[in-house]
Chain A
């Protein structure tokens, strides 16, 4: 059994021109960005840039035109993503909506939901967040307890979500909760698209160890959510969320998060580096290049309608390990003043603090390896 047969990545259209379009947009906006904002890429914020991407037709690229989309291929979208990441563009505000919430609404949502959310998402103006984790439900997601009771007026929601990225900027949260009283584990779960300005919904900041306000907790105190907020089928939340996680785990953001530091290292040491630094650059390049081949192949499989669950878990686990090791390897190999003003100093200081999260968000190594082991028939 060949573990990873390479699936050819053959996007339609003029690929270099598409890359250039993204690079030009970045060049036009980069004077406004701090180096830390750029380092955050898909966690970084710039509303004007998100809107500019929308105007350029680079959001909702694969969605039907009737919802503001552009009916382009998933592989063209992939090219835009990798260019944004490699170019260090703060594209975090719309990232989740474009990556998973929009596609989930297209697949499972009602007509009303699509019309309400998708055009704004494609313009880069409507943002969404992921309401999965709870204080007592992390890796063990099937243990969620937030509860929505169906009444004549709507869903009455009580409970708490946590670690919700970007909720303080977002308009709505696609939330996994229990809709069947007394149900256990994967049974009785549903997804609601909850507008965050709903009375009874409170978003509170959690400051991360890098000092950022990035994630949040969301409290639901008897919040009344319209019946029309149900996404897909009542009780089918687990199945839907599995599909959402597949979209969440398979992209190029799972290995390129610290690419800016590699750029800074190369530029700092110049065209004739010492042998040991040249070797480090070579090693990082080899890992990055290999991950890209694997990621392209996985994207091509997804685009071909296959369901590469194991491949996606492999790319995310290897990719997270690489992007997380990069700052440590740079720190070990070169003298860097962590309080210094250079790009290399600032980026290294930043990535040392932010990289521990790379292998947590979207599922930990143990969880991903569990998925792989299952695919291998070991469990």
Chain B
């Protein structure tokens, strides 16, 4: 774990809580100023020198607070550039993974594109943006790369997987937020003369919700640990898929226990559930990751699956011991 984790988390907690409810225009400058974008850039290259555990901690808090500013995108963009040895321009950088929309492209000062064996930096003018909107009302733009990149370096980095990890991390926070809202609501809303929380059917539904949130938390943490160890393709595929399943199971519970109030635009639940709905489709759907993971497992064979799963945690134990 990075030594600066506590400091980082305190800073992110304060800032993101402060920015909760703020729009992109007011939120992004403050996030930019705080320097989170360089989280994964090594300290000797002028960055924060953090690890993937730090990324998880910060993205989880962004999800928890429904942060309207981009965070995962600039962190990953700067990481890719640092890895490729390409100097990062000033301003907001976002990412283009194969076949994906480009979040916040309309506001970006550069796009880092990864895929087809290369990482490349495109500056405005070398691409055109068609605006689109995510279920949460966030910029989800389509980008047509019409010109040449300013720099391009051969790389086999799997940006789709890194993006998927980012959404898992954000989802773990958003699920906690939706869960906390649900608990608070059933403790205060009274029907039939009792708080909703006193009805067993409601208790059982929230217990199920907590299990799903727990599964995402555990899978996100296991991914971060694997990423810090090196190759995390297996873990990310499993975690993104498990997160999709958790969203499938728990978003309906959150809305169900809230009743009509949770269906209004004013009430905060939709800030979280709408993001969760969008993230489920981003950086690979459930079926995409299921098929990728399933094909990899089929090649391992029946016994090989367990051997692989065990060996992947054993080597982390060996490295830490």
Give chain B residues whose Cβ lies under 8 Å from the Cβ of A4: 213-215, 217-218
B292 / chain A contacts, CB cutoff of 8 Å: 282
Complex contact B210–A376 (CB within 8 A): yes
Complex contacts, B186 vs chain A, CB 8 Å: 378
Contact across chains for B314 and A15 when beta carbons are under 8 A apart: yes
Q: Measured between alpha carbons, how far is A58 from B19 in the docked complex, in Å?
A: 55
Inter-chain CA distance A376–B301, complex, in Å, is 41
Is A286 an interface position by the 8 A CB rule?
A: yes
Residue A369 at the B interface, CB < 8 A?
Answer: yes
Closest to A263 in B: B302
- Residues of B within 8 Å of A288, CB to CB, are 309
Indicate if A269 sits at the interface (CB-CB under 8 A): yes
Asked whether B219 lies within 8 Å of A282 as measured between CB atoms, the reply is no
The segment from A47-55, A124-132, A208-216, A291-299 that touches chain B is A291-299
| A294 engages B218 (CB within 8 Å) | yes
The 8 closest A-B pairs by CB, nearest first: A282-B294, A263-B302, A4-B214, A282-B290, A278-B294, A369-B207, A6-B221, A282-B293
Q: A293-323: which have CB < 8 Å to B?
A: 293-294, 296-297, 311, 314, 317-318
Give bound CA distance, A370 to B293, whole Å.
34
A 359-376 binary contact with B (CB < 8 Å = 1; else 0): 000000010111011001
Note all chain B residues with C-beta closer than 8 A to A294.
Answer: 214-215, 218
Q: Of B214, B300, B311, which is in contact with the most chain A CB atoms at under 10 Å from its CB?
A: B214
Which of B100-108, B157-165, B239-247 lies at the interface with chain A?
Answer: B239-247
A279 is contacted by which of B215, B291, B320 (Cβ under 8 Å)? B291
Per-residue interface assignment for chain B, residues 289 to 321, with 1 indicating a CB less than 8 Å from any chain A CB and 0 otherwise: 111111101111111011001110110011011
| Interface status of B121 (Cβ within 8 A of chain A) | no
Distance A277 CA – B183 CA, assembled complex (angstroms): 38
With an 8 A cutoff between CB atoms, is A273 at the interface? yes
Do A6 and B217 touch across chains, with their CB atoms under 8 A apart? yes
Bound complex: CA A35 to CA B198 (Å)? 47
- Check B305–A263 contact: CB distance below 8 A: yes
A289 to chain B: closest CB distance in Å?
Answer: 4
CB distance from B20 to the nearest CB of A (A): 17
Report chain A residues within 8 Å CB of B297. 266, 281-282, 285
Q: List 11 A-B contacts (CB under 8 A).
A: A5-B217, A5-B221, A9-B313, A15-B318, A19-B310, A270-B298, A286-B290, A318-B211, A372-B211, A378-B183, A379-B203
Whole-angstrom distance between the Cβ of B305 and the nearest chain A Cβ: 6
Cβ-defined contact, A376 with B237, below 8 A: no
Interface residue ranges, A against B (CB under 8 Å): 1-6, 8-12, 15-16, 19, 82-83, 86-87, 259, 262-267, 269-273, 275, 277-283, 285-294, 296-297, 311, 314, 317-318, 366, 368-370, 372-373, 376-379
Task: Tell me, in angstroms, the Cα distance from A264 to B211 when the chains sit together.
Answer: 28
Say yes or no: A266 contacts B301, CB within 8 Å. Answer: yes
Contact A3 B239 (CB under 8 A): no
Beta-carbon nearest neighbor of A14 in chain B: B318
State A2–B179 Cα separation when bound (angstroms). 10
For A279, what are the chain B residues with a Cβ–Cβ distance below 8 Å?
A: 287, 290-291, 294
Contact check, B317 vs A290: say whether CB atoms are below 8 A apart.
no
Q: Check if B222 is an interface residue, CB within 8 A of chain A.
A: yes
* A373, B206: Cβ atoms closer than 8 Å: yes
B203: chain A residues within 8 A (beta carbon): 369-370, 373, 378-379
How far, in Å, is B295 (CB) from chain A's closest CB? Answer: 5
A86: chain B residues within 8 A (beta carbon): 306, 310
Please measure, in the bound complex, the distance between the C-alpha atom of A265 and the C-alpha atom of B301, giving whole angstroms: 10
Residues of A contacting B222 in the complex (Cβ-Cβ under 8 angstroms): 6, 289-290, 293
Known: A3-B176, A4-B214, A285-B297. A378 touches B303 (CB 8 A): no
B44 nearest CB across to chain A (Å): 28
Other 12 A-B pairs with CB < 8 A, given A267-B301, A285-B305? A4-B215, A4-B218, A8-B225, A9-B317, A264-B302, A281-B293, A282-B237, A282-B289, A290-B219, A291-B215, A376-B183, A376-B207
| A3-B217, A266-B301 known; A282 vs B210 contact (CB < 8 Å) | no
Least Cβ distance of B206 to chain A in Å? 6
Q: Does B138 interact with chain A (Cβ within 8 Å)? A: no
